[in-house]
Amino acid sequence: MDQQENPGPFSRRQVIVLSVLVALFAAGVFLLKHRGRVAPGEVELARGNPEEYRLVLDVNSATWQELSLLPGIGEEKARRIVAWREEHGPLEKLSDLEKVSGIGPKTAAAAEPYLTFGEPRE
């Protein structure tokens, strides 16, 4: 068969490319038109009780970035906790946290529900 034979105005490659472009355009129009529309009952989300999930950090192995998430701590105090821990060793109880500069009883109490006092990681 002669490759120069072309029965129509478009080559086979052009027809394929055009077909793919039309299909993509149609899919895009469909998605834009139906975006965010879900019929009732089609999707059920399992929602847990928000009180079941909470952040709990081991004060002796958490990074300063993790500790900075605690209420009343922030980046500066979190860095001080890590520095104090590296210099003096692991914290054993909540009152040890108050030995860190800038952390008093109120700040320690606010962070308490989110802290454990385990062994530092190697």
Task: Find the CATH number of the domain harbouring 97.
Answer: 1.10.150.320
Q: What is the pLDDT of residues 40-84, one digit of tens each?
A: 556 666 676 666 667 789 999 999 999 999 999 999 999 999 999
- Judge whether 99 lies within some domain: yes
- Judge whether 47 lies within some domain: no
More confident residue, 22 or 30: 22
Q: Indicate whether 15 pLDDT > 90.
A: no
- Judge whether 67 lies within some domain: yes
- Give the C-alpha separation, 51 to 69, whole Å: 17
Q: How many domains does the chain have?
A: 1
Q: What is the DSSP string of 75-114?
A: HHHHHHHHHHHHHH----SHHHHTTSTT--HHHHHHHGGG
Q: So what's the pLDDT on residue 33? A: 74
Residue span of the structural domain in which 98 resides:
55-116
Q: So what's the pLDDT on residue 50? A: 62
- Judge whether 69 lies within some domain: yes
- Judge whether 39 lies within some domain: no
